[in-house]
Amino acid sequence: MNADPYRPPDVAAVRHADAAAAMRDEREEVARVLDVDPGVPCRAYVPDASRGTMVFAHGGGFVFGDLDTHDAHMRRLANRTGWAVLAVDYRRSPEHAYPAAVEDMDRALAWLRSEGASAGLTDRPMAAIGDSAGAKLALGLALRHPGAFQAVMLVYPFVDPRLRFAAADHANPRTLADARWYWDRYLDGHDPSDPGASPIDSPDLGSLPPTLVVTAGRDYLRPENEELVRRIRAAGADVTVDHHPDVDHGFWRRPERHPESEASLAAIAGFLNGREPVTAGG
C-alpha cells in the first residue's frame, strides 16, 4: 500500500488560525511598546531602565509567525530579562524567498544602530535572539556582523536546510515532510549548502560572541542543535546549552502549558545579565 501523498500546509488558513489564536494570548504590561518601520515593520518592547537591546526574529518555518503571534512572549522576554526587544517582522516565504528575510534583519540592525535611541533603544550592549527558523536568522545576523553583539540566544534553532541531523525517531513523517517544505519555500532553488542560507555550515562560527542554545529533549531538531553546539565549540567560541528534556519543539512560547518556558526565560536572563545561565533538566 502506498503512503498518502504529502499535503503541504494551507498557508492562508494557518496564518488566519494563528492570528485568531494570538488574539487570545494573555499580554503583560511593558513600560513602552511601540511599532516602528525602518524599512521593515518592527515592534519595540522597552522595560524601565533597559539594560540593553535584543534583536529578535520569530519562528514559523520562514512562512508563519509575525509580530502578533509572538507579542505575548516578547513582553515576557522583555520583563524577565530587563532588556528591550526589537522584534522584526521580516518578509516571509513563499511570497519572499531567500535572501529577503536576511536583508530585513540587516535593515533592522542598521536602524537600531543609527536611530534606535529615538525609540528608547540602546545599541550597547546588543544581543541577537530567535526561536526555530528565527534562530537561523539571528545566528546569521551575528555571523554577518562580527563584534556587533555581546550575546546570541538560539531557541531550538532550525539551521540545516539539508536536514542531515534531524532525528527521525523524534518526529513523525509529516513533521519531517513539513520541515522539507519550509526549507524549499525559503530557498526557492538556492543552494542549500551556501553558508549564508545554512549557518550551521558557516566557516565563521568561531567569531560568535557567547552563545546560548536552548534545546528540547523531544524535539526532532535536538540532534541538529547538538551538532550546531559541537561546531561552535570546535570553532573556539563560547557556547552554553540550556536543555529541557521533557518538552517538544514549540514549548518556549507556551508557559500556560509548559513551566519549562519560564525556566528558559530565566536561563536567558541569567545568560544576558551574568553569563551564568540557569540550566534546567541537566
Q: Which residues are the active-site residues? A: 132, 219, 249
Q: How far is CA 72 from CA 23, 45, 48, in A?
A: 10, 11, 18
- In three-state secondary structure terms, 32 is strand
Contact (Cβ atoms closer than 8 angstroms) between residue 280 and residue 246: no
Burial of 155 (0-12, 13-18, 19+ CB in 10 A): buried
**Phi and psi at residue 193, to the nearest 5°:** -90, -5
Type of residue numbered 190: H
Distance CA 68, CA 245 (A): 28
Beta bridge partners of 126: 53
Instruction: Report yes or no: 244 and 209 within 8 Å, Cβ to Cβ.
Output: no
